[in-house]
């Protein structure tokens, strides 16, 4: 199975600070069809996860553009350019290139 | 708007089975595969499997083969997951989510306890 390693596990930030989360895969997530099925999710307390970024860098409709994704192959990054209070929660990367689909261990974003 | 409405919380006894539902609305049910996901504090998020509502075809995580069975009822736009031979390790929150990850059910807590 593909292992997704997220760092850091916890991130403390002030409002307005820019932060980055890393997701490293145990194998390339480039599919034979040319797509890379790496997505980013945010789970707020008591809520189901919600999609932020799909296909590495595409912003889901309705998601603020302070969120951005980048990377290729095995290394991926989610950046938040100016944290807002509503961004607090746990961030997960998830891959659906190689079955079984797998999730990263999560990064908890909290206020400093 | 798209909604995935899951059934309510379950308290079940070890050794029994439970069938969870996920009713879809706001889109063509057969146009998007449906994932099922398990969430626990200890193991995080785990992908259980996926079903094609159009054909009924399924793909399972090997870890959950024999534990989970995915089905659909196209007439009611509802996806189901049956969990069998329940043990306390099956206690978790279970989600349905469309294959593109952009819509999720609200989750259902299953507690296995005698």
Q: Convert A1-33 to b/e letters by CB count within 10 Å (16 or more is b).
A: ebebebeeeebebeeeeebebbbbbeeebbeee
Q: Give CA–CA dist B41/B44, Å, rounded.
A: 6
Q: Token digits for B16? A: 């029994």
Residue recorded with tokens 């659909």: B72
Asked whether the predicted pLDDT for residue B66 surpasses 90, the reply is yes
Residue B41's pLDDT is 85
Band (pLDDT 50/70/90 cuts) for residue A112 is confident
Q: Are A103 and B95 within 8 A, CB to CB?
A: no
Q: What is the pLDDT of residues B20-47, one digit of tens each?
A: 999 999 999 999 999 999 999 888 999 9
Q: What are phi and psi of B89, to 5 degrees?
A: -70, -15
Band (pLDDT 50/70/90 cuts) for residue A10 is very high
Chain A residues whose beta carbon lies within 8 Å of the beta carbon of residue B40: none
Q: Are B61 and A51 within 8 A, CB to CB?
A: no
A83: helix, strand or coil: coil
Q: What is the pLDDT of residues B74-95, one digit of tens each?
A: 999 999 999 999 999 999 999 9
* A 17-46 residues inside an 8 A Cβ radius of B: 39, 41
B62: helix, strand or coil: helix
Residue A1's pLDDT is 97
- By CA distance, what is B103's nearest residue in A? A50
Q: Are B105 and A48 within 8 A, CB to CB?
A: yes
Chain B residues whose beta carbon lies within 8 Å of the beta carbon of residue A92: 44-45
Task: Give chain B as a DSSP string.
Answer: --EEEEPPPEEE-TT--EEEEEEEESS-GGGS-EEEEEEETTTEEEEEEEE-TTT--EEE-GGGBTTEEEEEEGGGTEEEEEE-S--GGG-EEEEEEETTSS-B---EEEEE--
How far is the alpha carbon of A55 from chain B, nearest alpha carbon, in Å?
A: 10
Q: What is the pLDDT of residues A60-105, one digit of tens each?
A: 999 999 999 999 999 999 999 999 999 999 999 999 999 999 999 9
Q: Are A49 and B104 within 8 A, CB to CB?
A: yes
Q: What is the pLDDT of residues A20-63, one digit of tens each?
A: 999 999 999 999 999 999 999 999 999 999 999 999 999 999 99
Chain A residues whose beta carbon lies within 8 Å of the beta carbon of residue B100: 51, 54
Q: Give CA–CA dist B72/B94, Å, rounded.
A: 16
Contact B24, B3 (CB under 8 A): yes
């Amino acid at each position: 199975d593909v292992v997704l390693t997220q760092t850091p596990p916890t991130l403390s930030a002030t409002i307005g600070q820019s932060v980055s989360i890393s997701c490293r895969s145990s194998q390339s997530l480039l599919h034979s069809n040319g797509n890379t099925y790496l997505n980013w999710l945010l789970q707020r307390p008591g809520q189901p996860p919600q999609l932020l970024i799909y296909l590495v860098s595409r912003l889901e409709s309705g998601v603020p553009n302070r969120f951005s994704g980048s990377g290729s192959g095995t290394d991926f990054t989610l950046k938040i350019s100016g944290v807002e209070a509503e961004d607090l929660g746990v961030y997960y990367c998830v891959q659906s290139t190689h079955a079984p689909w797998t999730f990263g261990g999560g990064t908890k974003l909290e206020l400093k | 708007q798209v909604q995935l409405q899951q059934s309510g919380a379950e308290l079940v006894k070890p050794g029994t089975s439970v069938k969870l539902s996920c009713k879809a609305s706001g889109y063509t049910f057969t146009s998007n595969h449906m994932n099922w996901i398990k969430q626990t504090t200890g193991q995080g998020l785990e992908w259980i499997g996926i079903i094609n509502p159009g054909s009924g075809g399924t793909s399972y995580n090997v870890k959950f083969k024999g534990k989970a069975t995915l089905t659909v009822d196209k007439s009611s736009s509802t996806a189901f997951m049956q969990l069998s031979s329940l043990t306390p390790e099956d206690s978790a929150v279970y989600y349905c989510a469309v294959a593109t990850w952009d819509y999720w059910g609200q989750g259902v807590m299953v507690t296995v306890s005698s």
